Copies of this chain bind each other. A is one copy, B any other.
Amino acid sequence: MINQKNVQLGTVRSCIRELFEYGKKRKAEMGEENVFDFSIGNPNVPTPPEVNAAIKEIVDTYNPVFLHGYTSAQGDFETRKVLADYTNARFGTKLNADCFYITCGAAASLTIVLNALLNEGDEVITFAPFFPEYKVFTEHAGGKFIPVKCEEDTFHIDFSRLESAITAHTKGVIINSPNNPSGVVYTEDEIIKLAKLLEKYSKKYGNPIYLIADEPYRELVYDKDTKVPYVMSYYKHSLVCYSYSKSLSLPGERIGYVGVNNEMPDFSEVYAAVCGAGRALGFVCAPNLFQQLIKKVYNLTSDISIYKRNRDKLYSALTEYGFKVVKPDGAFYMFVKSPEKSAVDFCERAKKYELLIVPGDDFGGEGYVRISYCVAPEMLERSLPAFKKLAESYR
């Protein structure tokens, strides 16, 4: 018998993938323009032109043996130095190059951090609704995955539920702000409260509880007064998992990093464990061409204003049609209350109007659906009458 857990993971497609494949088939039947696919988080805004220009410049000017050669396992030193300087200037931290470990994207960052921290049976808390792969990554690292429901209707942290979920076995808490799938951004007060609570229970149980900030959506916030607090400024035992997938529209290229807070007393051990986990998982180093690229474009983003316009248009249309939606502060997802009890049934009905949206069940958000609005604005525009009819079908 081979590993049945991995057979299972490879056999049961996530409902997002399932719908994505259905969408491909349906578009072939109905015409691309007649299917409204809001199923996946594949950015539809192109990478900024500087990215492709920089790739060509790098290929033209670098020594190919250096360019395509191994970097050290933690990543090119100069790139890590640039990341440290940028982070310090932006957030007032005192990080250095050796606080960073460059990875093949956010998923890699998370599996590396979880494998670095966890021993068999350790518990990892996250807030529901959550990105479904957190469960897969935690369990593969030997951990128990403990989802804690957010406040109903706001999707902010429910601290009393959190407090009752913490045990002597709690090794880490994953936060994801801006959040997939709710779009919520945690406020500074919320992060301060969270930090205090984690300090209290770290002391109580005599073991640090690590705060893991999964931040692929950090740059995707749409209102001037929305700030995404940087966890390292509030909590010593914190790690940041970053990715350029969404900010630079490079999801297929797999480039991101882990940042380890050098204020944590056990910094050296944690950083070593990050290196060890990356090694054991088979990462070797992140793609060097993209490591060199990041050095040049680390402070750019794709044209985020397109997502903002999508958010505003979709939010006002859906609320006008009578749907119940928390207005997202960031990321490019909207978490909409299903007008009937079963979100799965709601999504099935939406298909009749050629609307592809994902039930919240896999995200730990039963009774809600996720709409990914990282889509072409024209498609979103064309889809609105379908959303209207869908709403009317429930009257």
- Give A contacts to B, CB under 8 Å: 1-3, 5-11, 40, 42-47, 51-52, 55-56, 59-60, 63-65, 67-71, 104-105, 107-112, 115-119, 133, 136-137, 139-140, 171, 207, 249-254, 266, 269-291
Given known contacts A2-B116, A69-B251, A252-B291, what 11 new A-B pairs fall within 8 Å (CB)?
A: A3-B273, A6-B276, A9-B276, A9-B279, A10-B273, A43-B65, A52-B59, A108-B284, A136-B280, A253-B288, A254-B286
- Contact call A115/B6, Cβ cutoff below 8 A: yes
Q: Copies per complex? A: 2
- Contact call A284/B117, Cβ cutoff below 8 A: no
Cα A46 to Cα B207 in complex, Å, equals: 50
Most B CB contacts (10 A, CB to CB) among A42, A110, A250, A279 go to: A279
Residues in B with CB closer than 8 Å to A109 are 282
Residues in B with CB closer than 8 Å to A140 are 280-281
Cα A213 to Cα B64 in complex, Å, equals: 29
- Contact call A254/B104, Cβ cutoff below 8 A: yes
Known contacts A285-B254, A288-B252; is A276 also within 8 Å of B7 by CB? yes
Shortest Cβ gap from A245 to chain B (Å)? 8
- Contact call B42/A64, Cβ cutoff below 8 A: no
Smallest CB-CB separation from A243: which chain B residue? Answer: B284
- Contact call B10/A279, Cβ cutoff below 8 A: yes
Interface of A, secondary structure class, is helix
- Contact call A108/B282, Cβ cutoff below 8 A: yes
Shortest Cβ gap from A174 to chain B (Å)? 14
- Contact call A287/B2, Cβ cutoff below 8 A: no
Cα A2 to Cα B171 in complex, Å, equals: 8
Smallest CB-CB separation from A278: which chain B residue? Answer: B10
Ordered by A's residue number, 21 sampled pairs between the chains whose C-beta atoms are within 8 Å are A1-B207, A2-B116, A2-B171, A2-B273, A3-B117, A10-B276, A11-B272, A51-B64, A55-B59, A56-B56, A65-B249, A68-B253, A69-B251, A69-B252, A71-B252, A105-B284, A107-B282, A108-B284, A137-B280, A287-B287, A287-B290
Cα A269 to Cα B55 in complex, Å, equals: 39
Residues in B with CB closer than 8 Å to A280 are 5-6, 9, 111, 136-137, 139-140
Most B CB contacts (10 A, CB to CB) among A3, A276, A278 go to: A3
Shortest Cβ gap from A96 to chain B (Å)? 17
The answer, among B3, B71, B111, B252, for a CB contact under 8 Å with A68, is B252
- Contact call B254/A10, Cβ cutoff below 8 A: no
Most B CB contacts (10 A, CB to CB) among A10, A51, A274 go to: A10
Known contacts A52-B59, A104-B283, A287-B252; is A118 also within 8 Å of B65 by CB? no
- Contact call A3/B118, Cβ cutoff below 8 A: yes
Residues in B with CB closer than 8 Å to A249 are 64-65, 68-69
- Contact call A67/B270, Cβ cutoff below 8 A: no
Residues in B with CB closer than 8 Å to A266 are 2
- Contact call A42/B70, Cβ cutoff below 8 A: yes
Shortest Cβ gap from A209 to chain B (Å)? 12
Cα A10 to Cα B107 in complex, Å, equals: 20
- Contact call B10/A274, Cβ cutoff below 8 A: yes
- Contact call A111/B282, Cβ cutoff below 8 A: yes
Smallest CB-CB separation from A74: which chain B residue? Answer: B10
The answer, among B112, B136, B277, B282, for a CB contact under 8 Å with A112, is B282
Residues in B with CB closer than 8 Å to A270 are 2
Known contacts A282-B137, A283-B107; is A10 also within 8 Å of B272 by CB? yes
Smallest CB-CB separation from A105: which chain B residue? Answer: B284
